[in-house]
Amino acid sequence: MEKIVSLAKRRGFVFPGSEIYGGLGSTYDYGPLGVELKNNIKREWWNYFIHQRNDMVGLDGGILLSPKVWEASGHVKNFKDALVECKKCHHRFRPDKLRRPEEVGAPTNASRLRRPEEVGAPTNASRLKDPSKCPDCGGEFTEAKLFSGMFKTVIGPIEKEGVTTYLRPETAQAIFADYKNILSSGSRKIPFGVGQIGKAFRNEVTTGNFIFRTLEFEQMEIEYFISPDDDWQKIFKGWVDYIHGFMDVVGLERKRLFDHEIPDAERAFYSKRTIDMEYEFPFGQDELWAVAYRTDYDLSKHQEYSGVNMEYLDDRTGKKYIPHVIEPTFGVDRTILAILSTAYSEEGDRTVLKLKPNIAPYKAAVFPLLANKPDLVNLAKKIYGDLKKSFYVAWDDRGNIGKRYYSQDEIGTPYCITVDFDSLESDDVTVRDRDTMKQKRVAIKELAPYLEEYCSRS
Ligand code: GAP
């Protein structure tokens, strides 16, 4: 983990947020290479989950939504973390687990949205002889306090008069709020789904493990609308399998993924089935993505709170109903962490990020063999300029070729293109493969199709 965090900072993937002011806990910025990697992952997700399917459309909903949305969804009431503090040593614990927050991790959306009466009820006190006492010093606990997991914000110039709303803690709700508009603006018929990528914000009491759990993060979510008469188990399984396929698209290892069936008592109350897809991260196995069957809970609640009829007339059966929903959800930042930790490798004295070429920030780097030979530099610049029209490519003329290779290996550039003296005569260049380190001559006019073939393929 330390090596990944250090490489991410040193090479411009991920920086600690507001570092010049001493940092702001659990916030991060994506640097010049990080933003490329992130955009490539999001593009592949959109392509795989929206464009390649016939039953999906996209949405870009707001971060700020009416506060009524969060009342209807249950977040205002239930999206809370409970903490108790030891009166003696002042260590804090999550009462549902009676462990320190950093040991159990923060609750997910699903585990937070439990019935209110369940919040604060100890479910795992096995570690303690006496669950009413602090496991560290035996001191008494304070009463459990609830902390909202949502960031509040005020709309309007005068705080007292403004409307208080929240930065969204999940992207999903905009899809439910827009469901009627999406339906009436297209010719969508159930079953169909809506996908969305965007920022979400959670006032996490427990953060940590780099970009695994942060206050501000990005989600890629799908709400897939079905009929209550559809075979939801089959559709659910279909999504689980389809999601597994996305691992190959972005270069994650299937053997490191575990589908964790969430038991009844731990699921959100709206969910009839939830699978957490857990990945083997360097710090252990934890949730990467999830799939939940949210039933008709959200649309029914929005119908109740907004007064807008959410029913759908199914022309297959002539029946009217409130659609049910299967929700595959993905964290962008956790996907990046999983990808970085899968791709990171050390081979002898070189560090290589074996990113799949389709998500690598640069598809190739172009070098003149010698920086002080104008003929080589001019030809290399011409190749660089031509390739840049279709691909994001790097230029490097510093130091020697070996160092340039190592530098590109570390940031995952799949191909290095070197213009040498033979190139001036024979119109070809050396292309070196990051993973095999093998080199071959490729005609200059074939470079673009070569990169197209090897880098665009997912
Ligand atoms: N709409 C359902 C929902 O939000 P969730 O399991 O709470 O469910 C979905 O969150 C995904 O968002 C998680 O699987 C994870 O990848 C990501 N995620 C959740 N909280 C996060 C945080 N604090 N930091 C980074 N990613 C987070």
- Which tens digit of pLDDT belongs to each residue from 378-408? 999 999 999 999 999 999 999 999 999 999 9
The lowest-confidence range among 85-99, 190-204, 253-267, 315-329 is 85-99
Give the burial string for 154-193 (b: 16+ CB within 10 Å, else e). Answer: eeeeeeeeeeebbbbbbbbbbbbbbbbebbeeeebebebb
pLDDT at 254 > cutoff 70: yes
pLDDT at 297 > cutoff 80: yes
- Residue 203 Cβ inside 6 Å of ligand 1? The answer reads no
pLDDT at 104 > cutoff 70: no
Strands annotated E in 10-168: 14-16, 28-30, 56-59, 80-85, 92-93, 145-148, 152-155, 163-166
| Residue 57: how many other CB atoms lie within 10 Å | 14
Ligand 1: distance of its center to the CA of 203 in Å?
12
Top mutation candidate among 171, 203, 212, 217 for ligand 1, by most atoms within 8 Å of CB: 217
> What is the rounded average pLDDT for all residues in the chain?
91
Q: How many residues does the chain have?
A: 458
CB 226 within 8 A of CB 324: yes
Ligand 1: distance of its center to the CA of 54 in Å?
26
Top mutation candidate among 28, 59, 109 for ligand 1, by most atoms within 8 Å of CB: 109
151, with CB counted inside 10 A (0-12, 13-18, 19+), is middle
Ligand 1: distance of its center to the CA of 330 in Å?
7
Distance CA 134, CA 252 (A): 41
Q: Which residues contact 251 (CB under 8 A, 6 or more apart)?
A: 339, 342, 343, 354, 355, 356, 359
Q: Provide the pLDDT for residue 162.
A: 78
More reliable by pLDDT, 96 or 365: 365
- Residue 289 Cβ inside 6 Å of ligand 1? The answer reads yes
State the average pLDDT over residues 96-107.
52
- Residue 108 Cβ inside 6 Å of ligand 1? The answer reads yes
More reliable by pLDDT, 139 or 357: 357
- Residue 204 Cβ inside 6 Å of ligand 1? The answer reads yes
CA-closest residue to ligand 1 atom 10: 109
CB 171 within 8 A of CB 200: yes
Ligand 1: distance of its center to the CA of 106 in Å?
10
Which SS3 state, helix, strand or coil, does residue 338 take? helix
Q: Provide the pLDDT for residue 97.
A: 55
> In 3D, which of 40, 142, 155 has the Cα closest to residue 92?
142
The lowest-confidence range among 64-78, 147-161, 302-316 is 147-161
Q: Provide the pLDDT for residue 128.
A: 43
> In 3D, which of 146, 128, 148 has the Cα closest to residue 138?
128
User: pLDDT grade, residue 69 (50/70/90)?
Assistant: very high
- How many CA atoms does the CB half-sphere of 81 hold within 13 Å? 23
Extract the tokens encoding 49: 């989950």
- How many CA atoms does the CB half-sphere of 290 hold within 13 Å? 20
pLDDT at 137 > cutoff 90: no
pTM equals 0.91
Distance CA 198, CA 221 (A): 9
Q: Provide the pLDDT for residue 132.
A: 77
More reliable by pLDDT, 174 or 206: 174
| Residue 54: how many other CB atoms lie within 10 Å | 5
Distance CA 417, CA 398 (A): 14
Please give the number of the atom of ligand 1 that sits closest to the Cα of 211.
25
More reliable by pLDDT, 124 or 109: 109
CB 111 within 8 A of CB 209: no
pLDDT at 96 > cutoff 70: no
- Residue 447 Cβ inside 6 Å of ligand 1? The answer reads no
Give the burial string for 363-387 (b: 16+ CB within 10 Å, else e). Answer: bbbbbbbbeebeebbebbbebbebb
Query: Beta strand 439-443 with 192-201: parallel, antiparallel or unpaired?
Result: unpaired
Q: Provide the pLDDT for residue 89.
A: 87
- Residue 434 Cβ inside 6 Å of ligand 1? The answer reads no
Could you give the percent of the chain with pLDDT greater than 70? Answer: 91
More reliable by pLDDT, 123 or 387: 387
Ligand 1: distance of its center to the CA of 210 in Å?
15
pLDDT at 121 > cutoff 50: no
Ligand 1: distance of its center to the CA of 111 in Å?
11
Distance CA 176, CA 172 (A): 7
Ligand 1: distance of its center to the CA of 33 in Å?
23
pLDDT at 276 > cutoff 90: yes
Could you give the percent of the chain with pLDDT greater than 90? Answer: 78
